[in-house]
Structure 1
Amino acid sequence: MLNTYSPDHSHTIEFNRSAQNLHLESTLEDLSLFEIQVDINQRGVIVTQLFESDSTIPGVILMDGKKFIGMISQRRFFERMSRPYARELFLGRSLHIFYNFAQTDLLLLSGDTPVVEAAQQAIRRSPHLLYEPIVVKLSSTEYRLLEVQQLLIAQSCIHQLATELLRQKTQAQLIQTEKLATLGQMLAGVSHEIRNPVACILGNLQCLSNYYQDFMGLVETYEQEFPQPSQAIEDYKDEIDFEFTQQDLPEVLDSIKISSERLTHLVNSLRCFSRVDSSKPEKVEINYCLENTLLILKNRFVPGINLIKKYEKVPPIYGYPNQLSQVFLNVISNAIDALEDISQDHPHLAKITIKTEVRECSEIEKQTLKIPSHSPMETRLDYPAEYFDHSSSPNSNCDCQTKPSNHLPCCISIRISDNGPGIPAPVLERIFETFFTTKPPDKGTGLGLSISHEIITEKHRGKLNVISQVGRGTEFEILLPIL
């Protein structure tokens, strides 16, 4: 209970010196605070008696009824009282007189001020005020005092806590990275082991197809030589449903062939994704790289998510294909995550669009992408003219759109957009920060987009843009320079 000190009743100070259960968001209310108020109309001797009775009291709060007036620290009180004739002047008179003479600037903070922020404000004070206690306002009539030492100790504890949490998180990320690296090595080995039996299936499948043709030819020859088969043969043909088998077997062989080829394609994509890029950049076909990534993500495209591909003919670039695949994987995976709720509630509305094109860059983009100035003739010597002719689509299964341009293109644009819930502005500002994520721990690490940004900007001298509107969706645009 808070007591106002007066000469006619006892005074208690409630001060909790037990260990603090601090956390990263702790505020001043969570710290040990001194609770003492003195009526400013009291004589100065009252404060003297109070300080002499307990030297640990950092100061007193001066009140005029329920109105806050100010604060007198013990250090400053005895400093003033040590001057000649000070005790005679102030001890027998109202604290008004002493306060008017000795008052200084005080630091007044609300109780919900974070400890770290309060410590920063405290140490920014002038040197002669550095060790003055801080006044903490809990309500319009409740004020407390906080020692600077207690504040700095609390800040140190929070700093240690943050360091330990960061260490644990970093350690967990390192373990996860190591697991992923090991998984990548295993994946490369497993994909290699899968390739051999698949190649065997494909090779033997051709033999089976040839054998089938031979057997069918033999059956036709028998039917020509013996047009009237015995009853036993007819009965057996009915038993095995020979006519259906004759029609269905080629389709079975074709389905096995298609499935084996798809498996071969998937294994090759996994091998390419898991292998380590060489130290030197190599030629990368962007559309092919996207298709390989989509094949890896095929199982994540639930029936409720519609994928729209709008590929234009783009020239190859020199880069690191596996790192680009990782970027595409991260961005597309985030788009799929954003559409989970929509795909369940409105299965025909969820949509992901992937569009590639060559386009002209603005002057600011050229500076960001570090694109050298080429004359039109020099640039067209680097790539065939067909790459800048959008009259045909490289993929007949894609909804490709073309738009002629009179300007010379200088960058490849890969746009990956979704019509999900969008990203709020505060989150959008931090989207490329390391370890920042809004996903639960079992779904997100906060590394995907930060690594993607580094791969595009540092490894490929490109640019990664993001535009999002809450309720309308998000679009990532990856710009890669054509050199």
Structure 2
Amino acid sequence: MSQEFCSPISAPVLSVGSDRDLGLESSLQELPMYTFDVEVNFTGAEVAKYFDQYPSLPGVILVEQGKFRGMISRRRLVEFLIRPYGEDLFAKESLDVLYSYARTAILQLPETTPILTAMQHTLKRSPEFLAEPIVVQTAENTYKLLDSHELNIAAWQIRGIETQVRYERSQAQMIQNDKMASLGRLVDGVAHEILDPVGFIWGNLTHISNYSQDLLKLIAAYEKNLPQGCEVINILKEEIEFDYLAQDLSKALTSARSGAERLKKLVTSLQNFCHIDAIYPKPVDLHTCIDSIVILMKSRLKGEIKIIKNYGKLPPVPCFIGQLNQVLMNILSQAVDSLLDEAVRHQLQPNCSKNIKQAEIIITTDVISQAAKIPDTPDSRWVSICIADNGIGISDELQKQIIESFSIEKRADKETSLAVSYRIITARHGGNLNFRSQPEIGTEFEILLPLL
């Protein structure tokens, strides 16, 4: 085909990329790339001149009447020269013909692809294609060439940053764990100091109640045997309102006993929550753990949220009680936040006082069996803890973020409480953490712990 009517080839243009430092979320558009589009009716010899002028040019983008056709790398074009009769073919035939001979699988990615993701795609290619450049499609629907060597350098830089971030995060986590352990020991000591006087109060209330009843019986006996009494005693009885005192004394003692009992349960729950785990898991009563967390969260419920417990018969389950308490607290906090947010939304909306459902959190425990994945092996047994609310549910976008946070490949700058909970259940206990959510129906988290 004659070339005298063709427009000249435009010189390659190298974009400098972004001037900011690369980060974990950096994309391909931040890397230097070549723009070099050539119509398919030019010959290989005409393109070769540009490869001599631009030694780092990785290849050529082929277009046909301005539309993307494909890509030939520098390496593929050089291979034509070393073939028998390659020089004649290279000099006389068009790029369209050469492309039909040299056509290979092209890795084409949008410019918004993260660098680490692009590197994963590159490594999945056959070894013979690892050095082939990557075709990058821009937002303007144009195409650029990225040298695989540039991508490798950028990926290794980010891997170094990632390693540093992981190291700093592990150091921060160690410091945080040490702080939490110290805080746990401090709270445990304070709780122990509170329990001692509470024990004194609790133990003496029984005696005080018995003493007061005996004194009232003694006074009643005096009134029976001395019905007239004396004027001084009658005046004193009126001053102290003896009849009211006799009726209210038992109520006051009952109220004091109830308060001491609540304080004792609260402090015991606080001690359980701040429990420092041993090296090995220990058998625990899960129902006691759940009850302790519910007691600690009562101040947040404010009487607006009803807790319903459907407890099954559970054996003692070996676990790390301190970490499991943290998981239960995280999930219950998620449910309480959802219900309180819905209550605030109803208050802000006019004419929504009708048909407001009672906010509920339902906690269900049971022992379940799952079919064995390997033939001729017994079914596995699990303890299931389901925590469900009847709130507004979790949006699809937020559900996706939660699932991504569960993945070890997700490199978030800050771990969420649910991600920490997932790691505790799966990595530390060999269990699983599942969740389901439907709009306007509610959300359910299920903790599965293996029974050995």
If the length of structure 2 is used for normalisation, what is the TM-score?
0.75
Query: 2:214 & 2:16 partners in 1: Cα distance?
Result: 95
- Shift in Å, 1:442: 9.1
- Residue 349 of structure 2: aligned partner: none
| Structure 1 residue 352 corresponds to structure 2 residue 349 | no
What residue number does 2:425 align with? Answer: 452
Are 1:264 and 2:264 an aligned pair?
Answer: yes
Q: Secondary structure at the match of 1:447?
A: helix
How far apart, in 2, do the equivalents of 1:363 and 1:95 lie? 60
1:184 to partner: Cα distance: 1.9
CA distances 1:354-395 after superposition (whole Å, capped 9, x unpaired):
344567x4654993536xxxxxxxxxxxxxxxxxxxxxxxxx
> Conserved in 1, the CA contact under 8 Å of 2:11 and 2:50?
no
- Give the aligned length: 428
After superposing the two structures, state which structure 1 stretch, 264-273 or 284-293, moved more. Answer: 284-293
Pairwise CA distance, 1:329:
4.2
* Counterpart residue identity of residue 231, structure 2: P
Q: Distance in 2 between matches of 1:30 and 1:337?
A: 40
* Unmatched segments (≥5 aa) in structure 2: 1-5, 347-355
1:119 paired residue number: 119
Distance 1:358 1:80, change over 3 A: closer
Mapped partners of 2:124, 2:393: distance in 1: 40
CA contact (8 A) 2:18 2:31 kept: no
Q: Is the 8 A contact 1:435 1:446 kept in 2?
A: no
Contact 2:137 2:143 in 1 (8 A): yes
Per-residue deviation, residues 107-166 of structure 1 (Å, max 9, x unmatched): 333333332333233344444433232222226762211111111112222323333333
**Residues 358 and 49 (structure 1 numbering): CA distance in 2 closer, same or farther, change over 3 Å?**
closer
Q: Which residue of 2 aligns with 1:171?
A: 171
Q: How does 1:175-254 map to 2 (within 5 A)?
A: 175-209=175-209, 212-213=212-213, 216=216, 224=226, 227-230=229-232, 234=235, 241=241, 243-254=243-254
State whether structure 2 residue 442 is matched by structure 1 residue 473.
Answer: yes
Q: Indicate the residue corresponding to 2:378 in structure 1.
A: 367
1:228-259: CA deviation from partner (whole Å, max 9, x where unpaired): 525x974x766655544443343222211211
Matched-pair contact (CA < 8 Å) for 1:274–1:322:
no
Q: Provide the secondary structure at the position in 2 that maps to 1:336.
A: helix
Is the 1:275–1:322 contact (alpha carbons within 8 Å) kept by the matching residues of 2? yes
Q: Deviations for 1:280-324, whole angstroms, at most 9, x for unmatched residues?
A: 887755544443343233333332211112345x36536458366
Aligned CA-pair RMSD: 4.3
Q: In the alignment, is the contact (CA less than 8 A) between 1:326 and 1:452 conserved in 2?
A: no
Amino acid in structure 2 at the alignment position of 1:352: I
Instruction: Decide whether the 8 Å contact of 2:10 with 2:36 is kept in 1.
Output: no
Code of the residue aligned with 1:322 in structure 2: it is I
Alignment map for 1:335-414 (pairs within 5 Å):
335-345=335-345, 348-356=357-365, 361=369, 364=372, 367-369=378-380, 414=385
SS at match of 1:144: strand
Write the letter of the residue equivalent to 2:229. P
Query: Where does 1:51-62 land on structure 2 (aligned, <5 Å)?
Result: 51-62=51-62
The answer as to 2:15 corresponding to 1:15 is: yes
- Structure 1 segments unaligned to the other structure (5+ residues): 1-5, 371-410, 458-462
- The CA distance in 1 between the partners of 2:429 and 2:295, in whole Å, is 22
Q: Give the direction of change, closer, same or farther, for the CA distance of 1:470–1:85 in structure 2 (3 Å limit).
A: same
Verify the 8 A CA contact 2:39 2:66 in the aligned structure 1: no
1:406 is matched with: none
In the other structure, the counterpart of 1:162 is 162
Cα separation, partners in 2 of 1:356 and 1:115, compared to 1, 3 Å: closer
Query: Shift in Å at residue 182 of structure 1?
Result: 1.9
* 2:341 partner amino acid: D
Question: What is the identity, as a one-letter code, of the residue corresponding to 2:358?
Answer: L
1:417 aligns with 2:388: yes
Q: CA deviation at 1:352?
A: 1.4
Q: Which residue of 1 aligns with 2:316?
A: 317
Q: 1:41 to 1:477 in 2, by over 3 A?
A: closer
Superposed, 1:282-293 pairs within 5 Å as 284-293=284-293
Q: Would the alpha carbon gap of residues 328 and 131 (structure 1) be closer, same or farther in structure 2, given more than 3 Å must change?
A: closer
Q: In the alignment, which residue of structure 1 is the partner of 2:3?
A: none
Per-residue CA distance 1:78-129 (angstroms, 9 max, x = gap): 5544678766665477555555565555433333333233323334444443
